[in-house]
Amino acid sequence: MDRPDRERSEGRRHFTTPRSDNKDAVFGVRAVIETIRAGKEIDRLLIQRDLGSSDTIAELLQVAREANVVVSRVPHEKLDRITRKNHQGVIAFVSAIRYVSLHNVLSGVYEKGQTPFLLILDRVTDVRNFGAIARTAECAGVHAIVIPFKGAAQINADAVKTSSGALNFIPVCREDNLKDTVIYLQQSGLQVVACTEKAEKNIYQADYTSPTAIIMGSEEDGISDDLIRKCDMLAKIPMTGNIASLNVSVAAGAVVFEAVRQRLG
């Protein structure tokens, strides 16, 4: 469902509970520079909003640009809530996985004579939800999970643990612009199906036996309207209860395994 219940984000928890032992964070200007240069995957780079300019900060920004690292300017207080140690106004979160190229994934799937099956997550930010979705996707044989550079869950040790290790096996592709990604997938022969309550058809009326990418929306406001307009089909999960809203990981399981059922049939 594209409007699942709003849960406390594990990613946001890092910013509300002091963590002096955050194993996913590297802090200090020089340490972060060398971490990026070492080729580590960086989920996010946080830089103090009012941090003055210096040669080392200029060097850090240059290295970040060259590595295509997402930079966010944040208040000093937010950095202090992540670590009690001397962060020098700079904290980077190191990803627990290495991202892969969507082009390479698709090429590999077609070369093997398989029918592409992808899952796109539009601004799913809860780490536990993301881990649970990855576990479901890996079990269902999804070829890759696609996420945006900005507005996605931090893929840290908690995400890997919640996925029961599935994130060690299923490829994750991080893309600059999901609208452009949808167009690219369509041009590559895939139909793109949005799982959204705004649909007239339900997920059991859609055909997933052809090359398919399924989009699931954020915990707060579902799939963005811009993405919905780009999709080939909209499909909803039929519900008869009073709440009429599912957790995004549960919703993903419902639609993904309907696709599996059809493909096995």
Q: How far apart are CA 105 and CA 79, in angstroms?
A: 36
133 shares its domain with 211? yes
How many structural domains compose the chain? Answer: 2
Of 246 and 3, the structure prediction assigns the larger pLDDT to: 246
Q: H/E element holding 72?
A: strand 71-74
Long-range contacts of 35-40 (CB under 8 A, 24+ apart): 35/92, 35/94, 36/63, 36/64, 36/67, 36/69, 36/92, 37/63, 40/94, 40/95
Q: How far apart are CA 189 and CA 53, in angstroms?
A: 48
Residue 171 lies inside a defined structural domain of this protein: yes
174 shares its domain with 243? yes
pLDDT at position 244 is 72
54 shares its domain with 131? no
Q: Of 256, 252, 12, which is closest to residue 132 (Cα–Cα)?
A: 252
DSSP 8-state class, residue 222: B
* Confidence bin at 217 (pLDDT 50/70/90): very high
Q: How many helices (H) and strands (E) does the chain have?
A: 10, 10
Which residues contact residue 57 at a Cβ distance below 8 angstroms, ignoring those fewer than 6 apart? 29, 47, 51
Mean pLDDT (whole number) for 84-96 = 93
Domain region containing 206: 102-264
Q: Return the SS3 of 195.
A: strand
* Confidence bin at 6 (pLDDT 50/70/90): very low
Q: What does pTM read for this prediction?
A: 0.84
Mean pLDDT (whole number) for 144-155 = 93
What token pair was written down for 254?
A: 């419902």
* Confidence bin at 23 (pLDDT 50/70/90): low
The whole-angstrom distance between residue 130's C-alpha and the CA centroid of its chain comes to 7
Percent of the chain with pLDDT over 90: 79
Of 146 and 13, the structure prediction assigns the larger pLDDT to: 146
Q: How far apart are CA 70 and CA 67, in angstroms?
A: 9
What confidence tens digit (pLDDT) does each residue in 64-89 have? 999 989 899 999 999 999 988 899 99
Residue 244's CATH number = 3.40.1280.10
Which residues in 16-42 are b (16+ Cβ under 10 Å) and which e?
A: eeebeebebbbbbbeebbebbeeebbb
Percent of the chain with pLDDT over 70: 91
Residue 50's CATH number = 3.30.1330.30
pLDDT at position 19 is 40
Residue 19 lies inside a defined structural domain of this protein: no
pLDDT at position 22 is 58
